[in-house]
């Protein structure tokens, strides 16, 4: 990786909370940041123009899904993900590891990789560290991930085995990585066990990646345990590299984890909730199917500057939901994504102004008071 193409600039810190910029060939990523998930080279129900309008600077796509369909060779033939999905800004691809272990049928793990049956057509496929890197290099994202094994967080023996595999696979990913216009991030594993997390953070940090991900959290462990593991890991990860907490998108988790030094988040939650008629707000979630909104002239959230809240009432959105109109998913997705992006923007400003602790306390107190 060329230092001239990727660098992390720390702008401000307030306690452990950080405001920074990760510089990439397709633009700067201000941190802390939330990345909308475009699993199959599309953020569901939202166009690239709409993503740009709400201020998204980083989008995630999924290696496992694109490996199976349409295939990395086709994406490469089309000029890579940026051209294929018409998104000119930074893209991150995960390694496919989590999906292999959560979606694939009849998987068989060995020291070299994983053989599995596709959840799409049942065909037998194979992913190894080398194949994952090859696929991600063909996809052409700015940030790519090492191939890892995500274990159930409370199973000690499995977590220890998966961590050792993750470390060995990370070394192989480094050896296989060829493109200097892609930043390869290492992934810390270790389940919900502080000693394993500490060992993993030390090992992965020693490999000198340009950025680091914290994997295997928000998958069944308690909130307090997740916070403990993040504290353990971030005390070890280098301060001059970005830290990415994988798969976390609950608003209060973002507030708490930013306070612990996390820079980058991603999650399918905002768009998944939107497709199930649920809007995110400062005071909690709104089920727009609720009959109480049938005559409600208010926007989803008073004071929200998103396109949806600026133009449409809860009554109209409920009508779309009841009528099963596709536009409902688009409008609520726009709001939910804007909500999380605005949260990270406000967090960044609070860090720069030296008032993040107050910001977090006020934000969480308002949420708690609403039940």
Give first-to-last CA distance, the chain, whole Å: 47
Q: Write b or e for each residue in 175-193: b if 16 or more Cβ atoms lie within 10 A of its Cβ, otherwise e.
A: ebbeeeebbbbbbbbbbbb
Pairing outcome for strands 105-110 and 91-93 = unpaired
Name the catalytic one among 142, 148, 253, 266.
Answer: 266
Tell me the H-state helices in the chain.
Answer: 48-53, 63-68, 72-77, 81-84, 97-102, 129-139, 156-176, 194-206, 223-234, 251-259, 269-275, 307-311, 314-322, 326-352, 356-369
Is 142 a residue of the active site? no
Q: What is the DSSP string of 90-140?
A: -EEE--SHHHHHHT-EEEEEETTEEEEE-TTT--EEEE-HHHHHHHHHHHT
* 310, HSE (Cβ side, Cα atoms, 13 Å): 6
328, 316, 333, 344: which is closest to 272 by C-alpha?
333
Q: What is the largest CA-CA distance in the chain?
A: 61
Q: Is 266 known to be catalytic?
A: yes
Q: 14, 16, 94, 208: which one is catalytic?
A: 94
Catalytic residue list: 94, 266
């Amino acid at each position: 990786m060329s230092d001239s193409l990727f660098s992390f600039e720390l702008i401000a810190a307030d306690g452990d909370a950080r405001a920074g910029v990760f510089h990439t060939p397709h633009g700067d990523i201000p941190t802390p940041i939330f990345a909308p998930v475009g699993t199959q080279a599309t953020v569901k129900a939202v166009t690239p123009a709409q993503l740009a309008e709400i201020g998204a600077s980083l989008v995630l796509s999924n290696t496992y899904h694109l490996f199976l369909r349409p295939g990395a060779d086709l994406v490469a033939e089309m000029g890579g993900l940026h051209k294929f999905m018409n998104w000119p800004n930074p893209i991150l691809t995960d390694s496919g590891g989590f999906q292999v272990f959560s979606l694939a049928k009849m998987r068989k793990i060995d020291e070299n990789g994983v053989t599995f049956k596709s959840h799409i057509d049942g065909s037998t496929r194979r992913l190894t560290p080398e194949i994952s890197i090859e696929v991600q290099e063909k996809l052409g994202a700015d940030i790519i991930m090492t191939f890892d094994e995500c274990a159930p967080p409370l199973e000690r023996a499995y977590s220890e085995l998966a961590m050792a595999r993750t470390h060995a696979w990370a070394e192989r990913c480094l050896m296989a990585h060829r493109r200097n216009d892609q930043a390869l991030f290492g992934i810390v594993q270790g389940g919900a066990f502080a000693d394993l997390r500490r060992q993993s953070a030390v090992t992965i940090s020693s490999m000198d990646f340009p950025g680091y991900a914290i994997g295997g959290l928000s998958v069944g462990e308690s909130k307090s345990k997740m916070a403990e593991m993040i504290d353990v890991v971030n005390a070890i990860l280098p301060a001059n590299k970005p830290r990415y907490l994988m798969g976390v998108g609950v608003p209060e988790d973002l507030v708490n984890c930013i306070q612990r030094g996390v820079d980058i988040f991603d999650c399918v939650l905002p768009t998944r909730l939107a497709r199930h008629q649920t809007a995110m707000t400062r005071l909690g979630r709104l089920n727009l199917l609720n009959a109480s909104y049938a005559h409600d002239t208010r926007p989803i959230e008073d004071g929200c500057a998103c396109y949806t809240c600026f133009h449409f009432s809860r009554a109209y959105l409920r009508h779309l939901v009841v009528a099963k109109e596709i536009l409902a998913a688009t409008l609520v997705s726009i709001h939910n994504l804007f909500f999380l992006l605005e949260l990270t923007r406000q967090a960044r400003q609070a860090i720069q102004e030296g008032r993040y602790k107050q910001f977090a306390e006020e934000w969480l107190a308002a949420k708690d008071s609403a039940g």
